[in-house]
Chain A
Amino acid sequence: MAETTPDQEAPLLEVRDVAVHFGGVKAVDGISMKLWPGRIYGVLGPNGSGKSTLLGAMTRLTPMTRGAFVFEGQDYTKKHARTIQHMGIARTFQTVRLLEDRTVRDNILLGTDSLGRETRKEAAARVDEVMERLGIQEVERMRPDELSYGMQRRVEFARAIISRPRLLLLDEPTAGMNTSEREEISAIMRQLLEEGVTQFIVEHDVQMMVDTCDYLYAMNFGKLIAEGTPTDVVRDPAVQEAYLGKGAGKHA
């Protein structure tokens, strides 16, 4: 199973003592992580634990109080959010954020529109394959508001992967999906991993995380309360307490 430091020379992304305080609220309070290439990482935590804020800071959309982010050896803490995509990091959002007046195909292509000519060409050639993989090829000419929520999430997912990011950040990728849809998305994540896309998922659905991730972190009140293999983290008493309150039994 996964260990903390595999053989690679440098982590893909290093999170160094990152904190995001909103006034007196410590949404993220001193988080450090090392994400090594070729794995799916997950951050587990109840609502309000600071997971999404951490993702916001990671993509530099949320201002940070302190700390640093280093991607492939490059410190991008002070860089603007728009440069993140160019470095090879793509993300999805917790809520669906698609262009309402654009077709599914257009929304997906938007994922590479500000990248280099080669990437855009490749994306144009690959977009059909990506849509097929996500099961949205049939609706490529439709607009987001004509699709079900689960379909809209798939379009978001497609927009994030069309640029072939080296790191994919997913904010509750299966929220609002039914069990079979979740399994499909989980399978796509594993497949992407084989293609070399390291992933970082923020989610509160424990089962999905255990099934999908190689390595788990658990957060509560802005701090890491546990990390390790999914089974270890889920069994951790602190995690069980955070999720189910004191005296809870094993989570299924």
Chain B
Amino acid sequence: MSTWYAMNVVLVQTTLTTLLLALSIQVPLRFGVFSFAGVGAFGIGGYGSAIAMVHLGWSTWPAVAFGAVVAGLVVFLLGLVVQRLTGLYMGMATIAFTLIVSVLAVNGGDLTGGAMGLYGALGEISVLQILLVVLLVVALLHLTELGGMGRRVDAVRDDPELANALGVDVVRYRQFSFLVSGLIGGLAGAITTLLRSTITPAEVNFHLVILALTAIVVGGSRSWVGALIGAVIFVWLPTWIGFLAEWERVAYGVIVAVAAIYLPLGVLGVAKDLWHRFRTREERARVAALAKES
């Protein structure tokens, strides 16, 4: 492989796992659920896979699957408990869930390795394998953005009462979003952990919420493409703006603030809007002319 690839292989890996993490937060948001449980799932997936390898002696991919499935089930059950909450309250409850995962890891004794974390869970994972996993996840998510399914998801998010009136089972859709969020977050945590061979409670923390959320805010919250744009920007940004040295964090903050204020639907939202305007330029001109006449 090229020297560029050899130099940047870790960044490529991190981009893919960050994309998964961002997707685990984006999926519930697309269903109108303000949930950060995906980050808790990241922790459960990480610990689950490490425990499977270190304590049970499982090989890499069964351990990853174990971590992801446990995370999916736990977050699904969490969803059943908190499904009546909305907005900020939902956000608070799911962040609390993430902190609880971290606290349990600290107090897990030999099982989790306590505050020092678990070591020696080195999986055999190639970038190609991660890429295949990500492609599978993205392909499945893409299906939820297409056609009738995409429209129903949009209705569940933008106007749940309307969605109900049109026959959509809003509650089930939202429960499903918890399950998917847990599975993807667990996958992200498991792969990240087995790449690094270690996980500590400190890694399962609020900074992951911020990372995932900023990636979605800047990239775009309505499609996996936005999460990809966000993941690429925030993983590679340090290498692009390294020359700013200690001002790097300021630049990061400015980018997030500008995106939040001026690009409510992220980079992807702007791109889609421009495309829409270009595509409908004739119709819009006609409608504007009609409005002038009357």
**A interface vs B, CB < 8 Å?**
59, 61, 80-86, 91, 93, 97, 99-102, 106, 109-111, 113-115, 120, 138-139, 141-143, 146-148, 159
Contact = CB atoms under 8 A, between A and B. Distances in A.
Chain A interface secondary structure, helix, strand, loop or mixed?
Answer: loop
A142 B283 contact: yes
Most buried by A among B161, B170, B286: B161
A182 B158 CA distance: 29
A114 B168 contact: yes
Contacts of B155: 99, 110
B167 interface: yes
Contact of B148 (A81, A120, A159): A120
B222 interface: yes
Given A101-B222, A120-B148, A142 B284 contact: yes
B152 A101 contact: no
B7 interface: no
B84 interface: no
B151 A138 contact: no
Interface size class of B (residues with CB under 8 A): 20 to 34
A81 to B, nearest CB: 4
A99 B283 contact: no
A99 B163 CA distance: 10
Contacts of A115: 167
A149 to B, nearest CB: 11
Contacts of B287: 138-139, 142, 146-148
Contact of A110 (B152, B164, B280, B283): B152
B158 A99 contact: yes
B283 A141 contact: yes
B168 A82 contact: yes
A102 B154 contact: yes
Contacts, number: 82
A210 to B, nearest CB: 27
A61 B165 contact: yes
B202 interface: no
B291 interface: yes
13 contacts: A61-B164, A82-B164, A97-B159, A110-B155, A114-B152, A114-B168, A138-B287, A141-B279, A141-B280, A142-B280, A142-B283, A142-B287, A146-B284
Nearest to A123: B148
Nearest to B157: A99
CB-CB nearest 6 A-B residue pairs: A85-B167, A114-B167, A113-B148, A81-B164, A110-B151, A82-B164
B257 interface: no
A120 B284 CA distance: 29
Contacts of B283: 138-139, 141-142
Interface in B217-232: 222
